[in-house]
A and B are shown apart, each in its own frame.
Chain A
């Protein structure tokens, strides 16, 4: 078993006593999906909520002064960081799978029909939003700790609003490239996946650098 996987398992054991609380945060988005009669809305909320719980590992580590345990384990700091990202991505994917099963069940009961395209677009949007939140949050947690680092979660929200503002004020129709992307769902999804991977790579490298320079 590689050290990265061992590190991810250690993170799981940290949040294991809080699994019920984390599961509870997945219930509310089901209600949102039902009210809005939209799978996309439900999944977006679910991924936003689960992203908020990624600070648990940092909070528990801080509360128990466990940085000392991490400091004595025979494992590279880069492996610790990658292990934590992997654990958090697994958490996100688990929440996504749960939501992609639970939300359609509720929506179907309410008489809504859901196409394959709805599933795919909701999944890609969910992954994108989760990545957008976590790639900013995690380096923030590593640098400033679980309380101060939480503020980094709002960077994507601000970025989102600014992007929307820029798009509405700029002549989108005149950009041929943007027009092609927006009107091609497959291309849009592909770009989202590439963007997610790139964001995670940069975020991981930043977090490793922060941890390597951090004094415990």
Chain B
């Protein structure tokens, strides 16, 4: 099996929000960043993958298993880290192991102890005594202990200081090194993705904007800059997003349309640029 996660035409309707036809695949051995502004549907997508929300339509396969019809099999090799801890505050770390390990046949106690040691987590401590970063590492330690093939992380870096974020990215990079593990990583801190992700799936307002290689994603867009007199209506129509200043403008354009902007100053776009400009849906703002 080459794809650890397959999401096809996934849709979900809420009152006032719709996630529409999300399709992407995550091959084994890679990290995929799931990006989009707040409220774009990242967490909804993850909850649908985990069958914590009921999908309106579509299909999800985790490690080849349908996430509803074969939910148990699908979740046996799946590790999940949320933005906050999901263990009882009153549990000691040893109790966390006792409570969770029973559900995983391939739980390795020695590996759990080693990971705790590596993460500097004392087994005698209570969950509530751990910092947010440590709680996240505890969730990771659990996933590592049953050798979860696919890790899904929902905004794991939000609320973490730069040192902890850097450490997490290092851990994830190590985790996929053997080519047998994959990571789906939702975040709105795009700087993390520039460093760690191989693939990007970008959801905007519930719609899939892009899914593919990170380099391809970044290379698909350019920032063009020019003076006010250089901005014509025709050019404006080709711009995906524009920021006006008193002296000129800067805009996001597709690389394929670049010929029409040849007279302007062209710069590479960052993931942040792409997300910010496209989230504004071409609105002008100052």
Contact = CB atoms under 8 A, between A and B. Distances in A.
Interface in A103-117: none
A60 B124 CA distance: 21
Contacts of A67: 52
B82 to A, nearest CB: 6
Interface string B78-89: 101010111111
Contacts of A213: 54
Interface residues of A, number: 26
A150 interface: no
A1 interface: yes
A16 B71 CA distance: 29
A75 B52 CA distance: 13
B102 interface: yes
A193 interface: no
A179 to B, nearest CB: 51
Nearest to A215: B53
B103 A71 contact: no
B102 A69 contact: no
Range of interface residues on B (Cβ < 8 Å)? 20 to 34
B122 interface: no
Given A72-B80, A74-B104, A75-B72, A64 B87 contact: yes
Contacts of A171: none
Given A13-B99, A74-B75, A215-B54, A64 B89 contact: yes
A123 to B, nearest CB: 32
Nearest to A66: B86
Contacts of B47: 71, 215-216
Interface string A1-28: 1010010011001101100000000000
A10 B87 CA distance: 11
A75 B74 CA distance: 10
Residue from the set A9, A13, A60 with the largest chain B CB neighbour count within 10 Å: A13
A63 B98 CA distance: 20
Contact of A60 (B50, B52, B85, B88): B88
B91 A13 contact: yes
A13 B80 contact: no
B102 A72 contact: no
Contacts of B84: 65
Interface string A151-186: 000000000000000000000000000000000000
Contacts of A69: 86-87, 100
A173 to B, nearest CB: 54
Closest 9 CB pairs of A and B: A74-B75, A17-B90, A216-B52, A69-B86, A68-B86, A71-B52, A74-B76, A72-B80, A13-B99
Given A65-B86, A67-B52, A71-B50, 4 more contacts: A13-B91, A72-B78, A74-B75, A75-B72
Interface of A: 1, 3, 6, 9-10, 13-14, 16-17, 60, 63-69, 71-76, 213, 215-216
14 contacts: A3-B103, A14-B88, A17-B88, A60-B88, A64-B87, A71-B47, A71-B52, A74-B71, A74-B76, A74-B103, A74-B104, A75-B72, A213-B54, A216-B47
Interface of B: 47, 50-54, 71-76, 78, 80, 82, 84-91, 95, 98-100, 102-104
